[in-house]
Amino acid sequence: MMTTMLGQQVEERGHAIVPNCIGEQSLRALEPHLNGGQSGLRNLLGLPAVSELACSEPIRQLVEPVLGPDSFAVRGILLNKLPGANWKAVWHQDCVIAVRKRKDLPGWGPWSVKHARYYWLLLIDWPLRPA
């Protein structure tokens, strides 16, 4: 039932919000890595605590019914809007996919490069709007 609702939310909105999907123990394991007072952290999948959480059974149970059993995390970013390090960001949805290597194929592109990684801009035709 929950995964059906998640699939519907993703289909309609482009995202789903799942309250309390990460247990207290997992949050405690992440805390030392993410609590540095920084406004943004990149490449979080390089941290064992984050990559283990991304592959954990509770997360897989949420992801697989929507994206399929072969899906996997490609990027981990934390945007922490602290009072002293805040920035204005209007609602948007990131539609880029990080890839190991650029391949110029029909229908793939445009491309960008950030921090020595290639990103493919996903061009989609369904409306993206906030809930």
pLDDT tens digits, the chain, 131 residues: what are they? Answer: 566 788 888 888 878 889 888 888 888 888 888 866 677 788 899 999 999 999 999 999 999 888 889 999 988 888 777 776 666 766 666 677 778 888 888 877 788 888 788 888 776 554 444 44
Q: 3-class SS at 111?
A: strand
Whether residues 44 and 74 share a domain: the answer is: yes
Residue 96 confidence (pLDDT): 78
For residue 71, what are the domain limits?
A: 2-84
DSSP-derived letter for residue 113 is E
Whether residues 17 and 45 share a domain: the answer is: yes
Whether residues 75 and 114 share a domain: the answer is: no
Whether residues 98 and 116 share a domain: the answer is: yes
Whether residues 41 and 27 share a domain: the answer is: yes
Whether residues 112 and 78 share a domain: the answer is: no
Whether residues 67 and 7 share a domain: the answer is: yes
| 10 and 66 Cβ atoms separated by less than 8 Å | yes
Whether residues 80 and 26 share a domain: the answer is: yes
User: Cα 89–22–97 angle (5° rounding)?
Assistant: 50
Residue 110 confidence (pLDDT): 83
| 27 and 15 Cβ atoms separated by less than 8 Å | no
| Count of CB atoms situated within 10 Å of the CB of 16 | 19
Whether residues 55 and 117 share a domain: the answer is: no
**Considering the entire predicted model, what is its pTM?**
0.68
DSSP-derived letter for residue 59 is H
Residue 2 confidence (pLDDT): 60
Residue 88 confidence (pLDDT): 72
Whether residues 10 and 34 share a domain: the answer is: yes
Q: How many domains does the chain have?
A: 2
Q: How far apart (Å, rounded) are the C-alpha atoms in residues 36 and 81?
A: 13
Instruction: Take residue 43 and report the two structure tokens written for it.
Output: 């490449």
Residue 17 confidence (pLDDT): 87
